[in-house]
Chains A and B, each alone.
Chain A
Amino acid sequence: MNDIGNYALLLSWFTALAGCLGGAVAGLKKSPRWLLMARNSTILSALFGVTALVMLGAAFYHNDYSNKYVWQFSNRDMPAVYKVSAIWGGMDGSMLLWAAILTVCGALVALRVDKYPRLLMPWTLAVINSSSLFFLSVTLFFTNPFRYIAAPFVPFDGNGLNPLLQNPFMAIHPPTLYTGFTMLSVPYAFCLGAMLSGYLTNDWIRLTRRWTLVAWAFLTAGITLGGYWAYIELGWGGFWAWDPVENASFLPWLTATAFLHSVMVQERKEMLKFWNVWLVVATYGLTVFGTFLTRSGIVQSVHAFAATDIGPVFLIYLAALLIVTGVLSYYRRQELKSPRRIESLFSREAAFLLNNLLLLSICFATLWGVMFPVLSEAVTGEKQTVSIPFFNSVNVPLFLALIFLMGIGPLIAWRRASLKSLRKTFLMPFLAAFAMAIVLVWAGIVEFYPVLSYSLAFFVLLTILGELHRGIKVQRGAADSRKSVLSASVTALRRHRIRYGGYFVHFGVLVMAVAITASMAHKVEREFVLSDGGEYQIGRFTLRLEGTNELNNRNYQGIQSQVSVIRRADGKKLGTLKPELRRYFKNDESTTEVALMSSLREDLYLVLAGTDSGGRRMAFKVFINPLQCWLWIGALLVVIGTVIVLIPRGALAHVAVGVADESFAAAKGK
């Protein structure tokens, strides 16, 4: 399996090289035959890349400890699902996963080569293959996961996977995230392809919009899954710590979000062309930079990969990327000039520009925070770091400004908004939000940021509802006035599916914003010690320790406590929490297993912290995280909204008409 995997990887590398060169020749000679060759090479490269990945998976599944990587990250007693997810448990396999998904993205583009503009495709394929080539080279020459173990005989058992990674969410979080990352190379390939070929119409933007959206949805889902894993596994009651690894995934998400918005300005107004080119390249560059950051060991992180010597390779690639883009965008500067200007500060163009600047500011501040240890050491010789307070104090106000813009941007008029239209659209929501702020203060929430955050979210919600209301009214007015509200809204949604999908995404973001605010502002945490039968009161709950028993498992031994949760108001038992403290045999590591009782209102989060020296009294840490589950629901809404936007035109027509007819009939029957 090792050899097959290694050869598959090598063949994938060669076919990517062929695709890259073939694309370039096709671009120079404008030759369809070379384009066909580039197309087929790209597809072959993906087949070989996936084969290599499958081979590594098979090596894990069959406990092939002649493979050094498999030996390092697996052992016999591990459940099969974790054996497979151990593929990306370490650096080498994660690079292979990355490269394999990237070749698949290339193939997906190549398969549709006939549908895209002929002038654009050769260079696009060349660029996307160059990207695959880079990641395949790193995998093949620097982090090859198919190396044989340097032992005199094949070991009977492996070293084992870190217990913290033995979690179902670690099985899906990395592939989801990597799919998002690698898909962002498609807009990048189209963008460079457009500049190389000189085919600089809006086509490349239009064609890559769906790609960017899919990538963005995966990235959003991947980042949230990572946060969820941290929340349920690490036992500190939080989901985001501004750790370099988290930030590395957050940076391209920010620029991709900015790009999704500025694209609309280019499509409608042919503005921000130059800006968009750099935004796309920056997004791709940041995915590469993130890989570099988490794998080169240049910054200390709680969960970084082991430090390796691949840093310089990534830096050279990034430098080359910047130089090529710089030269190309200078060379094409005439074509990238926008024919129009922003006419007024009160216009959708200006709002979108502001949105982009805020997103980039958050990106820059985060990057600054991540790189601060390196920068301060280089400048002053003394290594300094910034941590969570820095990121929060800078990014929270920027995010709040962004939420405010989320209410303004989609509704304000293009070009120039009149005072009258501004008043009509925004005055009521604004006053209502102001009233909301007063109510919140009256209800006892007096901190500035939470009040501002909730009120802003309310403001945006009202603008979205107002827009929905207007849309339905227009539909009802346009056709039959007897048309039911339901049927009118279905028609409105169908006609403007993309716009309403966007509002749906915004709504999801609002839900997340409220959940994050609640968790930052109203989280409660306590420590306490109990003997059997002892009780502790927190919030609305009484916790009673019923007992503790020992656990014995093939992988670990440990203790598990049973803690009853009782509602204080009426003494009703709500359930039993069973937090665990485990000690894994491999490498003698201990971990806590969090017990969680989740409701729409709050999460009760219980950690078994340890026992006293006699082993009779148990120490616990408990968190009450208000509105926590709305964070995950909000993220789900964001992804659903993106899917609504992505549904192909016409696919919904059938369903929607059916529903509309039925409700129409129902309305008539009344």
Chain B
Amino acid sequence: MKIFWSIVVAVVAFVVLFMFQATRGTATTVFLPSKLIEIESKSHLRRVRVAGRVAGDSIDYQVEPKLKLSFEIKDPQGNSETTLPVVYNGIKPDMFAPGRDVIIEGEYKNGTVYASSLLTQCPSKYEPPDSPGVKRQGDYHQKGLGQ
């Protein structure tokens, strides 16, 4: 048993230490857009992760001279209408559209988030915008009777 437990203890101790180190080095706080703007004054340059919803009509996608996708995000839920500008130098991800929830990681500088990664929440999460029979009825109507 002595060997059994010494192997177990050694591996566990090593891994825990290693994990602790890695967590401290890479953990990033997740903010809501409104929260980030609220605490802006306290810090000017920091690595952040923001979870927000793409605000309508704010998307601008340029391919020259560099790929540049700029848009604004707001809180996914709640009434806060404050928007946070985001600049991302990269391809507009698949399924990126107004109203989509996104997770952005990057640097927060002068009120703008310069994203190094931009993830659009989606694939399997694919729900209709509203429950059937409510707002989309008009939609059926056009399709159903028009054809």
Judging by beta carbons under 8 Å apart, are B15 and A155 in contact? Answer: no
Do A376 and B27 form a contact, CB below 8 Å, given A150-B132, A152-B133, A368-B19?
yes
List chain A residues, Cβ under 8 A from B123: 162, 164-165, 302-303
On chain A, the residues within 8 Å of B143 by CB distance are 155-157
Across-interface contacts of A390 in B (CB, < 8 A): 22-23, 25-27
Chain B residues, CB < 8 A from A236:
93
Q: Is the CB of B122 within 8 A of A361?
A: no
Q: Verify A591–B15 contact, CB threshold 8 A.
A: no
Evaluate whether A234 and B94 lie within 8 angstroms (CB atoms) in the complex, with A610-B67, A611-B63 already known: yes
8 Å CB interface, B85-129 against A: 90-97, 103, 105, 117, 119-129
**A306-B125, A527-B66 as given contacts; A621 in contact with B132, CB under 8 Å:** no
Segment of A191-199, A210-218, A255-263, A378-386 engaged in the interface with chain B: A378-386
Asked whether A357 lies within 8 Å of B94 as measured between CB atoms, the reply is: no
| Pairwise interchain contact A394-B18, C-beta atoms closer than 8 A | yes
- In the complex with contacts A151-B133, A357-B11, A235-B22 CB distance below 8 A: no
Chain B residue with Cβ nearest A382: B29
Interface string of A349-377 (1 = CB under 8 A from B): 01001100110010011001000110010
* Distance in angstroms between the alpha carbons of A373 and B29 in the assembled complex: 9
Q: Check A300–B140 contact: CB distance below 8 A.
A: no
In the complex with contacts A365-B15, A387-B105, A592-B91, A164-B122 CB distance below 8 A? yes
Residues of B within 8 A of A2 (CB): none
CA distance A163 to B120 in the complex (A): 14
**A48 interfacial by beta-carbon distance below 8 Å:** no
Contacts of A73 in B (CB 8 A): 126
Contact B131 A304 (CB under 8 A): no
**A521 → B minimal CB distance (Å):** 19
A610 in contact with B91 given A390-B26, A393-B25, A617-B64 (CB within 8 Å): yes
Interface residues of B in 1-33 (CB under 8 A from A): 1, 3-4, 7-8, 11-12, 15, 18-19, 22-23, 25-30
> Across the two chains, which residue of chain A brings its CB closest to B103?
A300
How many chain B residues touch A (CB < 8 A): the figure is 57
A232-258: CB near B (< 8 Å → 1, else 0) gives 001110000000010000000000000
- CB–CB A387/B132 < 8 A: no
| In the assembled complex, B79 has its CB within 8 A of some CB on chain A | no
> What 1/0 flags go to A384-409 for Cβ under 8 Å of B?
11110110011001100000000000
Tell me if A589 counts as interface (CB < 8 A to partner B): yes
Say yes or no: A364-B3 contact (C-beta < 8 A), given A302-B121, A306-B125, A527-B67. Answer: no
| A residues apposed to B, CB below 8 Å | 68, 71-73, 89-91, 149-153, 155-157, 159, 161-165, 234-236, 245, 294, 300-306, 341-345, 350, 353-354, 357-358, 361, 364-365, 368, 372-373, 376, 382-387, 389-390, 393-394, 397-398, 527, 529, 587-592, 607, 609-613, 617-619, 621
What are 20 A-B pairs at a CB distance below 8 A? A72-B128, A89-B126, A150-B132, A157-B144, A162-B123, A162-B124, A235-B91, A294-B124, A302-B122, A303-B121, A303-B125, A354-B11, A357-B12, A385-B30, A389-B26, A390-B23, A390-B25, A390-B27, A607-B91, A617-B64
